[in-house]
Amino acid sequence: MRRGYIFQGMLSSDQIRSAVDAELASTKFIDVHTHLFMPSLGNLGLWGIDELVTYHYLEAELFRSSPVKPAEYFTLSKLEKADLIWRTLFVENAPVSEATRGVVSVLHAFDLPTSSSDLKKAREFFASRDYHEHIADVFKLAGISEVAMTNDPLDPEEAPLWEKGAMHHSQFHPVLRLDRILNKWPDHFHVLQSKGYKVDSELGGNSISEVRRFLDVWSKLMKPVYMACSLPDTFAYPENSVRAKLLTEAVLPVCREYDLPLSLMIGVRYLVNPALQLAGDGVGKADLRALERLCCEFPENRFLSSVLSRENQHELTVYARKFSNLMLFGCWWFLNNPSVVEEITRERLEMLGTTFIPQHSDARILEQVIYKWRNTRRTLGPILANSYDLLAQDGRAVNVGDIQKGVKRLFRTNFEHWTSLP
């Protein structure tokens, strides 16, 4: 998008806001954490209206407005689920929550009716789309150039696709996801055994070197830009545990060997309501001294971190001031709402300047990037402008170049440098 403004020299307060909005609109962001998949991973990639409407955020909201019980709901077909959610959350009620309004935003972006009594026209539209062209249109509407994926080497559906040589895509960066190894070793070590890795449940014998060999094989196969793991609110380090041993003796050394950051996403209370399945996770305040100790004891490793509890955000920001090998990213999951994004981003700008990554979409369905990034630009515009305005008020002239460099650093170069993206 051409920059629709030409300001020379020192900017006034109004010009600062215009310049920030214009730079946010014209800069193509990197989406540093999603659950999207490159086209060669086939049906793992979710897109279209029925996936959008049955997003797990909306399933959680459905059960607050419908008498249907989760057990009954999960027996329905995808189309039946979507029809029920559409009727309940979009027809019988005005869609004023973040997740429901997001679907409206996507429909509006494609000039589709947003208050229909059914999904007929939307289904016809998405059925008419060429997938590859659709991806290009969606990325353009979202103002993003590329996304980081979430790729699980122990997922029985995804792993074989990589092993068969799934074609890489320049706009979809692989991320080696470690949850099944670090959080559920007892349930998954046998999968490594079945692939010829001499590992056991207690990490005896050559287990650690075999896990490192497994990570080496997958680092070569996937070519990830970072490794990642979500962790419970109870995550602790140091700790005499299988997770701590795997993390410090296998994962972190392989990250150093391949010059990869490790992303630690801390604070999930898994399945607080199991009946809701993927929508059943909750949030808990974590003890971030675990992150502090890891950053301190492994200065040669680079860490990305996003934490789920609002109550952890201020101390996480302070930790980023203490450890230059720690890069904060995003307002994760239950935090990705304007009221909380504003608070978190303001305190990060105040304490870190532009040395953090403000947001990621966490998109699970392709078109979600459209509304998640529109919301981010809308929320962050005035906040970022305020930072530059205060600078001007306090005696340092602000010019367009300052703003261009700041926006680019926040939404591109911080991640590029952290992950050594080409």
Q: Work out whether 306 is an interface residue with ligand FIX (CB under 6 A).
A: no
Looking at beta carbons only, is 18 or 345 nearer to ligand FIX? 345
Min separation Cβ 362 and ligand FIX, Å: 4
Min separation Cβ 33 and ligand FIX, Å: 7
Q: Which does 34 bind (CB under 5 to 8 A by kind): Zn ion, ligand FIX, none?
A: none
Q: Which residues of 115-152 are buried (b: 16+ CB within 10 A; e: fewer)?
A: eeeebeebeebbeeeeeeebbebbbebbbbbbbbbbbb
Looking at beta carbons only, is 362 or 389 nearer to Zn ion? 362
Applying CB under 6 A, among 23, 362, 367, 389 the residue interacting with ligand FIX is 362
Min separation Cβ 364 and ligand FIX, Å: 5
Q: Which does 333 bind (CB under 5 to 8 A by kind): Zn ion, ligand FIX, none?
A: ligand FIX
Contact predicate 333/308, CB 8 Å: yes
Residue number with the smallest Cβ distance to Zn ion: 362
Q: How far apart are CA 176 and CA 179, in angstroms?
A: 10
The beta-carbon contacts of 165-169 under 8 Å, at least 24 apart in sequence, are: 166/38, 166/40, 166/41, 167/38, 167/40, 168/38, 168/40, 168/223, 169/38, 169/39, 169/40
Residues 284-323 as x/- pattern, contact with Zn ion by CB under 5 A: ----------------------------------------
Residue number with the smallest Cβ distance to ligand FIX: 230
Cα 374 to chain centroid distance, Å, stands at 15
Q: How far apart are CA 82 and CA 128, in angstroms?
A: 19
C-alpha dihedral sign at 390, 392, 393, 396: positive
Q: Helix 313-322 and helix 289-297: axis angle, to 10°?
A: 10
Looking at beta carbons only, is 281 or 362 nearer to Zn ion? 362
Q: Write the DSSP string, 353-398.
A: TT-SB------SBTTHHHHHHHHHHHHHHHHHHHHHHHHHHTT---
Q: Work out whether 362 is an interface residue with Zn ion (CB under 5 A).
A: yes
Residues 179-238 that bind ligand FIX (CB under 6 A): 230
Q: Work out whether 269 is an interface residue with ligand FIX (CB under 6 A).
A: no
Looking at beta carbons only, is 146 or 362 nearer to Zn ion? 362
Applying CB under 6 A, among 188, 195, 364, 408 the residue interacting with ligand FIX is 364
Chain residues in the site for ligand FIX (CB under 6 A) = 35, 150, 230, 265, 278, 333, 362, 364
Q: Provide the binding-site residues for Zn ion, judged by CB under 5 A.
A: 362
